[in-house]
């Protein structure tokens, strides 16, 4: 009888289960989770963070389960989940919460942030036994170093101690070259105390070239099995495989470009951001977040430590030091002078007296002398502002710019003996005449990398000339005499460093009318100068400037401090926060924005020809302003009003 009773006993009633799903939609007024009932067949399988398909508006949309909750009102019917795409959890609560903070700060939608944090699925990778690969890799053993190079920095010993104890420590470091391992060695030295305790480190770099250089160094020091590399250029399958290795905790080190800033990593204790002033850290898709701000929000939310390091110093990083949010790490002056190359400017009193004419030439006599001396035993780097042969032309007679008659684009000369063509539409002109005076004669307004390489090749006929540009980058050059002509950002690395680094076109680089131009130029100079040997020389051409003086003194922090003080005086970013509103609905959007902010505009956007408004507001007002921008954009979207684009804290405000 007891057995019959057990058999006939009714099954306990299961409480209906709801899944809250973040759906794949960039539409602002749909920026919230939607509830779906979980079918009985899926209740034992679904978990927060899994990918699903759900019915929405007559379509099946992708989404992520963000939460599972009991149905509080079973009488109210909701639609069922359409399909469980994968049982692999890829979106974790910590990442979701940080992504929401990013969306709030940049007045964007949560889905736009999440889709950048979680790469597309590669189904067959989920069937691989990644855990077995991690187990086979064994325990990470760090190579011994005589002295951790961070211990040479003021404040470095305290940072290493805190990271070794698991204490929160945020720092901004001005990296100085010519220690073993160059900057990848600096990064690994910073990570040592954390890795030594079995915890994990995330390293974010600007671009593929830096990622390749860091990866090569880690291959040689800890081995490829102990780190995961995250970048879209690797392809969907390798990227997803490395993503799973990272989120499952199979590797102690994760390196990547800006999308890696929100990768879930178990036991993450330290985030290292390399060269935060590089524009590649800015996401090109909405909500246009910057890796530095994502790292700051992640550090605040999760309590992980943060190190921002660069050969120069961004004004935003200087603000973190000034406010006390981060500690400054810098090399003492006496040690710094022994580590870096000598910097010579062609506009010193001595050079002007010695060579009053050629000191202002594009390649002054000082640059020729130092290049000739260095080429006896080492390669020489020449940094130029522009690519091409003659990327800008003007009339020889009236000096008016040479423009294409069809599209008004700038004309250029593609090579020695080549025909003139338009940079915009590509039309060739073999018999071009000036539209202003009719003269057929042209002159160069600027000289590009190809023309510079040709001129130097003729002057130094006994050494090879290597050209490195964005279109044809060269990653590394051998340690033997050669002239390397490169545009900013693609300077090759020399194995033992360059004997001389010539920084040409300083005046042209500084002439660009932009709030951040000097800051960006000095970053390019310090990046190139850091490639010189300690006994080498860096030659800076052009007229005297505050940026040039900072390079001669090797004082990027001082330059950033003065820039920040000036921004405070005139009320410009990053002393204040900013936002740009553009689009067909911008005028109406600004009219409905009832906030105590300073509004400049409208002006006409040069690219879209639409209204453009610039907003300035304080950091204290920031959360309220971005919440209002986000909410108004959603309400206008729901009303089907004309669209607007909102960029918060953009790189280019003025």
Same domain flag for 231 and 258: yes
Same domain flag for 284 and 301: yes
Same domain flag for 366 and 282: no
Same domain flag for 504 and 587: no
CATH code, domain carrying 28: 3.40.1440
Which of 184-193, 238-247, 350-359, 420-429 is the least confident region? 350-359
Of 336, 357, 385, the domain-final residue: 336
Q: When comparing pLDDT for 442 and 345, which is higher?
A: 345
Of 518, 542, 567, the domain-final residue: 567
Task: Report the distance separating Cα 549 and Cα 544, nearest Å.
Answer: 7
Q: Mutual orientation of helices 93-105 and 291-302 as an angle, nearest 10°?
A: 130
Residue range 578-583: mean pLDDT, rounded: 94
The mean pLDDT value of the chain amounts to 88
Kindly report the pTM of this predicted structure: 0.87
| 457-465 own/partner pairs: CB under 8 Å, 24+ apart | 457/483, 459/368, 460/371, 460/372, 460/375, 463/375
Residue range 301-320: mean pLDDT, rounded: 97
CB-based contact 411:421 (threshold 8 Å): yes
Phi, psi values for residue 410, rounded to 5°: -70, 140
Same domain flag for 312 and 365: no
- In 341-448, alpha helices (H): 349-354, 365-374
Q: What is the pLDDT of residue 387?
A: 45
Binding residues: 395, 398, 404, 407, 422, 425, 434, 437
Q: Is residue 118 part of a domain?
A: no
CATH code, domain carrying 620: 3.30.70
The answer to whether the bond into 392 is cis (omega within 30° of 0) is no
CB-based contact 305:162 (threshold 8 Å): yes
Q: Which residues contact 509 (CB under 8 A, 6 or more apart)?
A: 385, 488, 517, 521, 524
Same domain flag for 380 and 303: no
Q: Which residues contact 478 (CB under 8 A, 6 or more apart)?
A: 379, 494, 495
Strands 411-413 and 327-329: unpaired
CATH code, domain carrying 249: 3.40.50.300
Same domain flag for 604 and 561: no
Of 567, 597, 625, the domain-final residue: 567
Same domain flag for 287 and 348: no
DSSP-based three-state secondary structure for 306 = strand
Same domain flag for 454 and 504: yes
Same domain flag for 238 and 271: yes
Our count of domains for the chain comes to 4
DSSP-based three-state secondary structure for 536 = strand
Q: Is residue 73 part of a domain?
A: yes
Q: Is residue 302 part of a domain?
A: yes
511-538, pLDDT tens digit by residue?
777 889 899 999 999 999 999 999 999 9
Q: Which of 557, 374, 390 is nearest to 483 (CA)?
A: 374
Q: Is residue 310 part of a domain?
A: yes
Q: Residue 438 belongs to what domain range?
A: 339-567
CA-atom Rg of the chain in angstroms: 28
In the chain, the percentage of residues whose pLDDT exceeds 70 is: 87
Task: Report the distance separating Cα 432 and Cα 457, nearest Å.
Answer: 29
C-alpha distances (whole Å) from 344 to each of 371, 537, 538, 544, 549 are 13, 7, 6, 12, 10
Query: Can you give 595-645 as a three-state secondary structure string?
Result: CCCEEEEEEECCCCCCEEEEEEECCCCHHHHHHHHHHHHHHHHHCCCCCCE
Task: Report the distance separating Cα 231 and Cα 447, nearest Å.
Answer: 34
Same domain flag for 605 and 550: no
Q: What is the DSSP string of 236-294?
A: HHHHHHHHHHHHTT--SEEEESGGGGG---TTEEEEEEE-TTSGGGB-SSTT--BHHHH
Q: Is residue 99 part of a domain?
A: no
Q: When comparing pLDDT for 291 and 58, which is higher?
A: 291
* The Cα angle at residue 109 between residues 98 and 578, in degrees rounded to 5: 85
Q: Is residue 3 part of a domain?
A: no
Strands 498-503 and 380-383: parallel
Q: Is residue 307 part of a domain?
A: yes
**pLDDT of 424 higher than 80:** no
DSSP-based three-state secondary structure for 423 = coil
Same domain flag for 412 and 267: no
CATH code, domain carrying 453: 3.40.50
Q: When comparing pLDDT for 594 and 627, which is higher?
A: 627
Q: Is residue 4 part of a domain?
A: no
432-478, pLDDT tens digit by residue?
788 788 888 776 555 545 666 566 766 676 889 898 988 789 999 99
Binding residues for Zn(2+): 395, 398, 404, 407, 422, 425, 434, 437
**pLDDT of 550 higher than 50:** yes
């Amino acid at each position: 009888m007891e057995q019959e009773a057990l058999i006939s006993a009714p099954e306990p009633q299961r409480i209906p289960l709801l899944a809250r799903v973040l759906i794949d939609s960039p539409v602002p007024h749909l920026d919230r989770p939607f509830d779906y009932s979980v079918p009985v067949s899926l209740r034992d399988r679904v978990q927060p963070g899994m990918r699903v398909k759900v019915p929405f508006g007559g379509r099946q949309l992708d989404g992520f389960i963000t939460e599972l909750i009991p149905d509080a009102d079973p009488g109210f019917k909701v639609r069922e989940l359409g399909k469980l795409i994968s049982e692999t959890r890829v979106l974790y609560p910590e990442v979701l919460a940080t992504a929401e903070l990013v969306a709030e700060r940049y007045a964007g939608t949560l889905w736009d942030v999440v889709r950048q944090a979680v790469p597309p699925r590669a189904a067959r990778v989920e069937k691989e036994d990644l855990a077995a690969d991690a187990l086979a890799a064994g325990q990470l053993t760090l190579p011994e170093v005589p002295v951790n190079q961070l211990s040479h920095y003021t404040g470095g010993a305290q940072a290493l101690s805190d990271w070794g104890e698991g204490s929160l420590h945020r720092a901004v470091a001005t990296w100085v070259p010519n220690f073993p391992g160059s900057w990848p060695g600096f990064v690994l030295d910073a990570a040592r105390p954390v890795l030594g305790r079995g915890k994990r480190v995330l390293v974010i770099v600007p671009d593929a070239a830096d990622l390749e250089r860091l990866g090569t160094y880690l291959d040689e020091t800890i081995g490829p099995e102990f780190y995961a590399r995250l970048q879209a250029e690797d392809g969907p399958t390798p990227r997803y495989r490395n993503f799973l290795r990272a989120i499952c905790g199979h590797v102690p080190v994760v390196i990547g470009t800006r999308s890696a800033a929100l990768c879930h990593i178990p036991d993450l204790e330290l985030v290292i951001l390399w060269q935060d002033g590089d524009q590649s850290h800015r996401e090109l898709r909405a909500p246009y977040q910057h890796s530095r701000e994502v790292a700051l929000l992640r550090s605040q939310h999760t309590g992980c430590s943060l190190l921002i390091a660069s050969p120069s110093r961004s004004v935003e990083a200087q603000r973190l030091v000034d406010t006390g949010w981060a500690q400054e790490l810098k090399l003492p002056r006496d040690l710094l002078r022994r580590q870096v190359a000598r910097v010579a400017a062609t506009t010193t009193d001595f050079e002007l007296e010695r060579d009053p004419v050629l000191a202002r030439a594009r390649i002054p006599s000082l640059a020729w002398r130092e290049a000739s001396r260095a080429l006896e035993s080492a390669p020489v780097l020449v940094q130029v502002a522009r690519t091409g042969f003659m990327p800008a032309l003007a009339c020889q007679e009236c000096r008016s710019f040479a423009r294409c008659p069809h599209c008004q684009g700038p004309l250029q000369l593609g090579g020695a003996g080549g025909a003139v063509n338009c940079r915009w539409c590509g039309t060739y002109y073999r018999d071009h005449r000036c539209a202003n005076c009719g003269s057929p004669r042209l002159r160069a307004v600027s000289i590009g990398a190809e023309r510079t390489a040709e001129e130097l090749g003729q002057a130094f006929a006994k050494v090879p000339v290597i050209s490195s540009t964005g279109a044809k980058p060269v990653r590394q050059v051998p340690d033997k005499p050669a002239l390397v002509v490169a545009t900013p950002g693609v300077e090759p690395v020399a194995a033992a460093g360059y004997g001389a680094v010539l920084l040409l076109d300083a005046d042209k680089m500084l002439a660009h009318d932009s709030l951040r131009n000097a800051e960006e130029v000095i970053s390019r100079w310090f990046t190139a100068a850091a490639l010189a040997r300690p006994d080498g020389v860096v030659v800076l051409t052009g007229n005297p400037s505050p940026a040039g003086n900072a390079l001669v003194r090797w004082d990027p922090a001082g330059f950033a401090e003065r820039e920040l003080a000036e921004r405070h005086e005139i009320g410009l970013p990053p002393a204040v926060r900013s936002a740009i509103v553009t689009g067909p609905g911008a005028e109406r959007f600004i009219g409905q924005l009832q906030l105590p902010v300073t509004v400049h505009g409208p002006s006409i956007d040069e690219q879209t020809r639409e209204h453009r408004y610039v907003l300035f507001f304080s950091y204290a007002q920031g959360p309220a302003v971005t919440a209002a921008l986000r909410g108004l954009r959603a309400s206008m979207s729901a009303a089907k009003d004309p669209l607007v684009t909102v960029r918060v804290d953009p790189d280019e405000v003025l």
